[in-house]
Amino acid sequence: MQIARRIPELKSFVDNAIKNNKTIGLVPTMGALHEGHLSLITRARKENDIVVVSVFVNPTQFNNPEDLKTYPRTEHADCKLLERAGVDMAFIPTAEEIYPEPDNRIFDLGDVATVMEGAMRPGHFNGVAQIVSKLFEWARPTRAYFGEKDFQQIAVIRRMARISGFENIDIVACPIVREADGLALSSRNVRLTPENRAIAPEIHRALKDSLNMTSELTVDQLIESVTKRINSFDCLEVEYFSIVDPLSMQPVKAWTDVPNPVGCITVYCGDVRLIDNICYRS
């Protein structure tokens, strides 16, 4: 595996691959890698000649400085894992390399970016669009892989790709990988106290149990029921729970409004912000 810390190294590696008619799979990550990331890498490995993984804690997508400061960084372990996964190139730049000057671009991400994470984390999706558009430009992937854990992010990236001339890149959505007890894998899970880690699976449990309630409860009643159940645990506090159209990300009013509405939730578990989602299949 090659490690590139500078943009020109990445670009010349990619130039060479493209000259040789190789397909390129890109997996953007912020490191502190786990099985969720690995599932994206494994899929990229199967579907492409060359796999590029970026490891970069992107400051412009953090609206909370404390979150940026405490975000786990485990480069040594990450490199070992990437090597074992058969990755061809790890791109691990510094913030100075990516942003020698401030990136002042504002993306018109439309309605998909104004609700939920977009409403709670001002500037977050614009920061995501900034870094992913740069990575698309330099890595020129055939396919790029993203996890459905960040369900809204995928819609935002599809929109960014459409408006920024990357419509030829295949955006591949990969299913959520969970711990045996149902907790969605997340780099932030290491920040949970043992007590809170034991309660955190209640989030997925409440979502899963709610799948059977769509015949008895309206959308609003179900939202209330799930929120109450999760909030009944001392260390859990729901920030939002919205049931949305999986294309537009706009809230649905009735189960029949759109096929396969998705319930997107954010919960504080102590001071750790966890996100998850579930599909109410029609």
User: Rule CB under 6 A: which residues touch ligand AMP?
Assistant: 29-30, 36-37, 39-40, 146-147, 149-150, 174, 176-177, 184-187
Indicate which residue of 34, 37, 124, 204 is catalytic. Answer: 37
Span between the terminal Cα atoms of the chain, in Å: 44
Q: Which residues contact 242 (CB under 8 A, 6 or more apart)?
A: 115, 116, 223, 251, 263, 264, 265
H/E/C letters for each residue in 216-230?
CCCHHHHHHHHHHHH
Residue 222 or 264: which CB sits closer to ligand AMP? 264
| Residue number with CB closer to ligand AMP (67 or 257) | 67
Give the β-pairing of 143-147 and 262-269: unpaired
One-letter identity of residue 179: E
Q: Which residue, chain included where needed, has tokens 């109410």?
A: 280
Alpha carbon distance 16, 2 (integer Å): 14
Instruction: Provide the minimum distance between the beta carbon of 110 and ligand AMP in the complex, in angstroms, as a whole number.
Output: 20
- Of residues 142 and 187, the one with the C-beta less far from ligand AMP: 187
145, 174 Cβ separation under 8 angstroms: yes
Shortest distance, position 136 Cβ to ligand AMP, whole Å: 14
Q: Active site includes 37?
A: yes
Backbone angles phi, psi at 137, to 5 degrees: -65, -45
Q: Which residue is nearest to ligand AMP (CB)?
A: 147
Instruction: Tell me how far, at minimum, the Cβ of 95 lies from ligand AMP, in Å.
Output: 15
Dist CA 172 CA 169 (whole Å): 9
Of 197 and 223, which has the nearer Cβ to ligand AMP?
197
Min dist. Cβ of residue 261 to ligand AMP (A): 20
Cα of 172 vs its chain's centroid, Å: 12
Nearer to ligand AMP, 37 or 197 (CB): 37
DSSP one-letter code for 233: S
Closest approach, Cβ 159 to ligand AMP, in A, equals 15
Give the bridge partners for 55, in sequence order.
Answer: 29
Which residues are catalytically annotated? 37
